[in-house]
Amino acid sequence: MTTSVRQTRPPQPTLEMVAEVAGVSRATVSRVVNGSTRVGPEIVAAVTTAVEELNYVPNRAARSLASRQTQALALVVPEDMTRFFGDPYFAAVVQGITRRLDQSDFTLNLLVASSDPQHKTLRYLRSGNVDGALIISHHTGDDFVAELETTMPVVFGGRPANADNLEAYFVDVDNAAGADLGTQRLVDLGRRRIGTVTGSADMPAGIDRLTGFLRALERAGIPTDAVEHGDFTVQGGAAATRRLLERCPDIDGLFVASDLMGTGALDVLREHGRSVPGDVAVVGFDDSPAATRGSVPLTTVSQPSEEMGFAMADVLLRRLADDADDDDDDDDDDESVPHRTIMPTRLVLRESA
């Protein structure tokens, strides 16, 4: 007679088991696993050690049911595909976002939609498919953004287009101060007929960079009429530079509100027989890979695009962790999460100025 022996699997590690080994509460383990920054480093280390020791793997399905979270976020980019894949700024921001999400159990859905007349993007987001949204490169006409904010936690990359939205969460650089810094470089070089190719007039970054440019010229007593609007693309920068040279052929300095537009400006200056920096000194903005791809390496205002993406994701995860923490005290959920995160800019000197 043959007797079969039934093998029994060891129990799957649970959140409670991790808490017992780490010597903390279940709620604290939950905070650490969900990426909350409201836990001290010693506790994080203890929980991490217990997770590794027990080989604990979060049960996404069970946790989603318990917390009513999908463990998914959306990155919403109200631009066309050509612009999204052609601008290195977006790649850097996405890299920063994914680097932060790699420290959590959240996944990222990318939604690139410049025109959505049937509101498919909004319907998808409002149907419970994601827990929160990150929005970059938004315009004043993107009305769906205001509707989205009433549905889920939202964090903006860049100052929100709606200036009245004082409760918005966003991560940005001081674009006006950065543009002032770049324009002042041209003033310090002795340039006295300085123009600008500014960004889109319906985007906060474009508006703020024009503000900084004008401020620097007014301080130096230099005329402020040499202004043409671009659209943050190579082609837009080239077209705006042509218009500027037609109106103001005597410019000897040029501040361009993005490096991509700067490469277009360099091409047009070369076509017109203007040497850089001899005839026209040029300063860009971003310090993206585009700054070194043109005919002359661009002096540029550097913004930490990847770190901005990381910070955006971090703010959103902290908001979600606070919302999901049923064991928290009676504190206001988002009290510990800053509404505004402003990151520094700096000037990077190269051959163009």
Helices 305-324 and 88-101 pack at an angle, to 10 degrees, of 40
pLDDT at 302 over 70: yes
Domain parsing of the chain, residue ranges? 15-58, 72-173+307-343, 175-304
The helix or strand, by DSSP H or E, that contains position 81, with its residue range, turns out to be helix 81-86
Rg (CA), the chain: 25
pLDDT at 290 over 70: yes
Alpha-carbon distance of 339 to 302, in angstroms, equals 23
pLDDT at 334 over 60: no
pLDDT band at 104 (very low <50, low <70, confident <90, very high): confident
DSSP three-state, residue 74: strand
Beta bridge partners of 281: 253
Rounded to a whole number of angstroms, the distance between the first and last alpha carbons of the chain is 92
pLDDT > 70 fraction of the chain, expressed in percent and rounded: 84
Q: Which of 49-53, 142-146, 197-201, 207-211 has the lowest mean pLDDT?
A: 142-146
Alpha-carbon distance of 237 to 229, in angstroms, equals 8
Peptide bond into 117 cis (omega under 30): no
pLDDT band at 165 (very low <50, low <70, confident <90, very high): low
Fold of 15-58: 434 Repressor (Amino-terminal Domain) (1.10.260)
pLDDT at 339 over 60: yes
Residue 139: phi, psi to the nearest 5? -115, 165
Alpha-carbon distance of 167 to 349, in angstroms, equals 37
Q: Establish whether domains 15-58 and 72-173+307-343 are of one fold.
A: no
Report pLDDT for 326: 44
pLDDT at 8 over 70: no
pLDDT band at 255 (very low <50, low <70, confident <90, very high): very high
CATH of domain 72-173+307-343: 3.40.50.2300
Beta bridge partners of 254: 195, 282
pTM for the predicted model, two decimal places: 0.76
pLDDT at 348 over 80: yes
pLDDT at 6 over 90: no
CATH class name, domain 175-304: alpha beta
